[in-house]
Amino acid sequence: MTIQSPPDDQGRFGDYGGRFAPEILMPALLELDEAFHEAWADPGFHAELDELLANYVGRPTPVYRAARLSEQLGIDLWLKREDLAHTGAHKVNNTIGQALLAKRMGKPRIIAETGAGQHGVATATACALLGLECVVYMGAKDVERQALNVYRMRLMDAEVISVEKGAATLKDAVSEAMRDWVASVENTHYIIGSVVGPHPFPLLVREFQKIIGEELQEQMDQSPIRPTPEVIVACVGGGSNAMGIFHPYRDSGIDLVGVEAAGHGIASGHHGASLVAGSPGVLHGSHTYLLQDEQGQVLEAHSISAGLDYPGVGPEHSYFRDTGIARYVAVTDDDALDALRVMSATEGIIPALESAHGLAWIMAAADELQGKTVVLNLSGRGDKDVQQVEKFGG
């Protein structure tokens, strides 16, 4: 398969991206880039991947018209049901792809970092499926708030390492995983969970996730009985579910809206809105928008949902933002909680808190969206969040 709109030789999308990594990792990044391009051009690799996506993950995921919500909001609202993918979110599209790639490269050991636990579960799943050793780094705070996911990973024979350093959340787990990789790169592949990190990760994660948007094109644009989307909405943590659904539409002129976490509100400073309220800098190997103070110190992000609790964002989104290919907005914790309740009560679908940010924006923008065909990427199911939602009461 040919790659549409690839980054340049340095892994840059416009001003963003690149390969800001320790010298010792350069050979591994170059090897990965080469292995990915070689695999992507090989029909045998796609046959194996497609078979697993169809019969193990359950793709294509349905697109479902949310009739009651549509009526309530005056919008023709459709849900791309990534919550129905095996493991309950889109992340497995990427982990199976990268695990297959690792196997092809002859690397029997996988490491990963995880925030909500979803990427850890998706990685442990892919490793169990393909018989690879799996080590997952997780911030101690996240280990606590996502205990069930920790147990899931251990059931699937992954080793979970709790990271106590720094804020003990995702950012710190990423640093520890990087440290491991520097020491183990000979036999280890690092499965990054979003369209972030040094080149070629933003490219290859995008390629593994863009099946979401490609399916949507078949299910809606090319369907004789369904409308073509006018607005596509997705939440943005690192940005993989959003990039996955946006990318096939990047030249379509369709309104692409990425929804970040406004946490306690942008003005409070406690949020995860790197594109809305951040500025360009270098984080985890790439040049991108991030949350930083005047001295360039990376700030801690805040979101009620661990999946959006990250101070950076994938570099291609930074490029999309500056060029206007997509626009980015932000939604508070409270509005996301409210949207989670609305979708649960109105459709019988409990969305992930991450995905609820997308619905919260749609609800807030309902006046502007009247009568339009809007697709929300329902990136995951909310079972993992139910206890937390209960704690917030209301």
Ligand X SMILES: *Cc1c(COP(=O)(O)O)cnc(C)c1O
Give the residues lining the site for ligand X (CB under 6 A).
Answer: 89, 91, 116, 118, 194, 235-242, 307, 352, 354-355, 379-380
Q: Smallest gap, in angstroms, from Cβ of residue 236 to ligand X? A: 5
Nearer to ligand X, 139 or 238 (CB): 238
Q: Is 7 exposed, middle or buried, given 0-12, 13-18 or 19+ CB atoms closer than 10 A?
A: buried
Q: Is 382 helix (H, G, I), strand (E, B) or coil?
A: coil
Q: Smallest gap, in angstroms, from Cβ of residue 374 to ligand X? A: 18
Nearer to ligand X, 60 or 358 (CB): 358
Dist. CA 337–CA 236, nearest whole Å: 16
Q: Is 66 helix (H, G, I), strand (E, B) or coil?
A: coil
Dist. CA 71–CA 89, nearest whole Å: 26
Nearer to ligand X, 107 or 357 (CB): 357
Nearer to ligand X, 12 or 357 (CB): 357
Dist. CA 326–CA 233, nearest whole Å: 10
Distance of CA 262 to CAs 241, 265, 297, Å? 18, 5, 20
Nearer to ligand X, 127 or 236 (CB): 236
Nearer to ligand X, 76 or 117 (CB): 117
Dist. CA 217–CA 382, nearest whole Å: 26
Residue nearest to ligand X (CB): 380
Residues 6+ apart with CB under 8 A from 377: 80, 82, 90, 212, 232, 233, 234, 235, 241, 242, 244, 245, 355, 358
Residues carrying an active site annotation = 91, 113, 379
Residues 6+ apart with CB under 8 A from 359: 339, 340, 342, 343, 351, 376
Dist. CA 198–CA 285, nearest whole Å: 4
Q: Smallest gap, in angstroms, from Cβ of residue 326 to ligand X? A: 13
Q: Smallest gap, in angstroms, from Cβ of residue 380 to ligand X? A: 2
Q: Smallest gap, in angstroms, from Cβ of residue 275 to ligand X? A: 11
* Range 353-377 burial, b when 16+ CB lie within 10 A, else e: bbbbbbbbbbbbbeeebeebbbbbb
Dist. CA 78–CA 348, nearest whole Å: 14
Phi and psi at residue 122, to the nearest 5°: -65, -35
Neighbour order of strands in the sheet with 12-13? 12-13, 16-17, 286-290, 279-283
Nearer to ligand X, 116 or 185 (CB): 116
